[in-house]
Structure 1
Amino acid sequence: MQQFFAEPSQITENRIRLDGPDVNHMKNVLRMKPGEDVRVNDGCGHTYLCCIASYEGEGALLDVLKELDADTELPSGIWLFQGLPKGDKMDWIVQKAVELGAFCVVPFAAKRSVVKLDHKKAAKKQARWQAIAKGAAEQSGRGIIPEVKEPVTFAHALEAASDLDVVLIPYEMEEGMEATARIIEGIRPGQSVGIFIGPEGGFEEEEVALAEHSGAKPVTLGKRILRTETAGLAALSILMYHLESAQHSLIMRNE
């Protein structure tokens, strides 16, 4: 079922009004008609089953049928710190990261980053990535719209990660799957987690050393060298499975 996001101010006890591009998408792209059901999320964890009542100008009126028991968020906030890649790879990374449960995406410029964005271009890119995140959140039934930050320097990215409980930096020179497994298994639901992914060409050794000095833990994602657009998604997939399995085990033990 198609999902849309609405501001809490747009929601009353039994009616929701949607405005803007979502209405155009609903009416002219999806060709949804009055009487059809949709899901609406307020971005604060509340999801509603609604029925399209009518279209009025640029808006759509929805009747709230009931609140749904929707729990689609990971038990931990995962921050993906992504080294700026070339071309439009970042579009794809943002979309898939949101689908896999990322809480926030922070693009950063590493020493081997080919892409250099000035403030004006960075703001324009950030707006595009945020729109992609919103669409991915709607498609995947997320309870929130993850934030995509404006690109920052590597030093600022490390500073932003300093408040997180666990910070991982997959590195192709790192060996020892057993050590990586222990680190992953030690992460508990409720802890915040950061993942640092290098750009094409990876991290330079001094960047990894600086990350370690800041508290990041180098890990391996296996024997193969992954592309920048693959590595973050592989790490997110591993964490998604681990955290949801750990949460399920906790629930089962407490029942």
Structure 2
Amino acid sequence: MQRYFIQNEDVEGDRVVLQGEQAHHIERVMRMSAGDEFICVDENEKAGKFTITSVQAQKVTAQFSETIETCAELPVHVTIAQADIKGDRFEWMLQKATELGAFGFIGFGGKHSVVKWDEKKQDKKLGRYKKIVQEAAEQSERLRLPAVQHVASAKELLLIADRYDVVWVVSEQSGRGTNHHALYEQLEALHLPVSVLAIFGPEGGFSESEFQLFQDAGFASISLGPRILRAETASTALLSMLSYEYEIKR
């Protein structure tokens, strides 16, 4: 059933009033009319089924009918910190990682990033990223709408790292140095609920200075296996492993 993320201002008692793009999607794309049903997820991550009572130009009104109890959220809250990569690849990563349960996203400028973040276009680009994430979250029946933000560099990640219980640096360089921890050892040490910041490099990987910065901060360095993955693939591989460990295996 079609799902929409709504804001508190869209709610009027036991009704929702959707306008703009969502109303257009209901009327023109989904071809819904009075009597049809869809699901709304509010800002408190609560889902409910609604029945359309009125469809007007750019305005759809629907009546609450029942609460939806199912939850499709990954038990481990994983925020993906992805160094800037080519636009279409970053967007692909956002879409697939959202489908696989990512809790949020932080883009950052990596020293080896081929593309450079344009501050003048930040609002437009973040707006596009958020739209991609919202559509993917609706399609995959999520209750959470992952947040998307961007910081300038790896150093700025250190300033927000204390918000998370665990920080992982995912890299082919993870076999070097003394801070190497196998992924399975990290999983054994986790106790739910837990928040994880997983940091991924760009196409060229982390620079030596960035990797050293993470090691000095005490972040755990992990590998996803013997194969070298593309930058946009690594996060989806990690999320798939976590889904198996905490949703399928158990």
Match of 1:192 in 2: 195
For residue 186 of structure 2, the aligned residue among 178, 183, 193 is 183
For the structure 1 residues 180 and 77, does the alpha-carbon distance in structure 2 shift closer, same or farther, using more than 3 Å as the test? closer
Match of 1:252 in 2: none
Q: Structure 2 matches for 1:98-247, cutoff 5 A?
A: 98-175=98-175, 179-244=182-247
- CA drift of 1:10 comes to 2.1
Residue correspondences, number? 247
For the 8 Å contact 2:103–2:146, the answer to whether it is kept is yes
d(CA) in 2 for partners of 1:199 and 1:228? Answer: 6
For the 8 Å contact 1:79–1:103, the answer to whether it is kept is yes
Match of 1:87 in 2: 87
Question: How much identity, in percent, do the aligned residues show?
Answer: 35
- CA drift of 1:105 comes to 0.3
d(CA) in 1 for partners of 2:218 and 2:146? Answer: 24
- CA drift of 1:151 comes to 4.0
For the structure 1 residues 163 and 82, does the alpha-carbon distance in structure 2 shift closer, same or farther, using more than 3 Å as the test? same
For the 8 Å contact 1:188–1:243, the answer to whether it is kept is no
The alignment's C-alpha RMSD in Å is 1.9
Query: Per-residue displacement from partner, 1:203-223 (whole Å, max 9, x unpaired)?
Result: 122211211222311111111
Match of 2:14 in 1: 14
Query: Per-residue displacement from partner, 1:146-201 (whole Å, max 9, x unpaired)?
Result: 11103431111232223211111112133499832111221222111011110001
For the 8 Å contact 1:19–1:60, the answer to whether it is kept is yes
Query: Per-residue displacement from partner, 1:37-88 (whole Å, max 9, x unpaired)?
Result: 1111103121111111111232101111111112222223211000110131
Query: Per-residue displacement from partner, 1:77-116 (whole Å, max 9, x unpaired)?
Result: 2110001101311111111111111111000111100111
Q: TM-score, with normalisation over the residues of structure 1?
A: 0.90
Matched to 1:140, the amino acid is S
Q: TM-score, with normalisation over the residues of structure 2?
A: 0.92
Q: Structure 2 matches for 1:41-120, cutoff 5 A?
A: 41-120=41-120
Matched to 2:59, the amino acid is G
